[in-house]
Amino acid sequence: MILVVGLGNPGREHAQNRHNVGFMAVDELARRVGAEPFRDRFSGAWAKAEIAGEPAFLLEPRTYMNASGESVQPAMAFFKIAPSELVVVHDELDLPFGEVRLKHGGGHAGHNGLRSILERVGTGDFGRVRVGIGRPPPGFQGEVASFVLSGFAPDERAALPDLVKKAGDSILDIARRGFAAAMKDCNTRRPKEPPYASNSVPGCAWPLLVCTDSAPPRVLSPNTGFEPEMSETVEIADSGIRSQFTVSPKDSLTRTPST
């Protein structure tokens, strides 16, 4: 048995905030495993599911982030969940956007949602799925709190579905193989891909966000390419630096090794 808790703030005004990536991950997990509809209880919304052949419960506290423990602890008591069976999905400033890492035990590291859970549950001996949102970029006007309560940048929004899926994959792996095995694989540092460049924009690093007038933003990654249907302006987002150029149907934008 497992209780998966996604952290966030309630309300439409917070739905797309960085701080709500835990809610996003649990929503996507519920869809993937065919969970029952969410119901109101425990000062939150919860759903029953089956993951890896075992019963599981999904919970999104509606108490606001700083009081998440007021939802988590009653749910744990009702479902008889031990701390070792609790998995909390939360945003992580100390990981770059796009990375997911697992951690078992420890403190709250300044995260107020974790702080509240530790206080109410009485221990930090539970699992965490840390979803990287990165630190505020240079020149960001405001405090860290303002950053986590703001929306994702356009290039991040395009990559957000993959990040949420990655978090869900980690939860499924925890349920199937146990936290220790899943954490070992998830946290193993893999060699970075060699630098790549566009044959249209030499020197750009990949993957890149491609924006055109005729289609939604998309991310080019290994073995993918972009072939325009008409002459149009293409905007490339490369590590926050954007450049524009015009392509026509005879051109293609593909990933090729740098020389």
Q: What positions carry a catalytic annotation?
A: 19
In order of 205, 210, 221, the CA distances from 258 in angstroms are 9, 19, 15
Residue pair 77/120 in contact (Cβ under 8 Å)? The answer is no
The β-bridge partners of 245 are 234
In order of 7, 67, 130, 148, 244, the CA distances from 58 in angstroms are 11, 18, 17, 23, 44
Q: What are phi and psi of 145, to 5 degrees?
A: -60, -40
Supply the Cα-derived Rg of the chain in whole angstroms. Answer: 20
Nearest by Cα to 74 from 57, 91, 89:
57
Residue pair 18/147 in contact (Cβ under 8 Å)? The answer is yes
- DSSP 8-state class, residue 80: T
Tokens 């309560």, residue located: 149
